[in-house]
Amino acid sequence: MARCTTEAMALHLEEIAQAVAPGAQAVLLLDQAGWHTTKKLAVPANITLLPLPARAPELNPVDPSTSSG
């Protein structure tokens, strides 16, 4: 798929669900993209979506060698 859509995300989740071992649970860390958070998204039972906070600079630390401070 050439576009990021709810449909594309659903297909992606189905692929992941098939790769999860029987009896196991996959946890996916996601950003706040609309196709990740829509209630229209069908999430397989063996996948848990864990959205990252909208603003979390501590999750993207600045490399000290590139800072200007």
The answer to whether residue 11 sits within a structural domain is yes
The answer to whether residue 69 sits within a structural domain is no
The answer to whether residue 66 sits within a structural domain is no
The answer to whether residue 53 sits within a structural domain is yes
Distances (CA, A) of 44 to 1, 10, 11, 52: 20, 9, 10, 19
Categorize the per-residue pLDDT at 21 as very low, low, confident or very high, splitting at 50, 70 and 90: very high
The answer to whether residue 15 sits within a structural domain is yes
Residue-wise pLDDT for 30-67, tens only, equals 888 888 888 899 999 999 999 888 777 766 666 555 55
End-to-end CA distance of the chain: 42
The answer to whether residue 41 sits within a structural domain is yes
The answer to whether residue 64 sits within a structural domain is no
Confidence (pLDDT) at 52:
85
21: domain range?
Answer: 6-59
Two tokens, residue 26: 């996959």
Count up the domains in the chain and report the number: 1
Q: Distance between CA atoms of 67 and 8, rounded to whole angstroms?
A: 37
Higher pLDDT, 24 or 6: 24
68 has a pLDDT exceeding 60: no
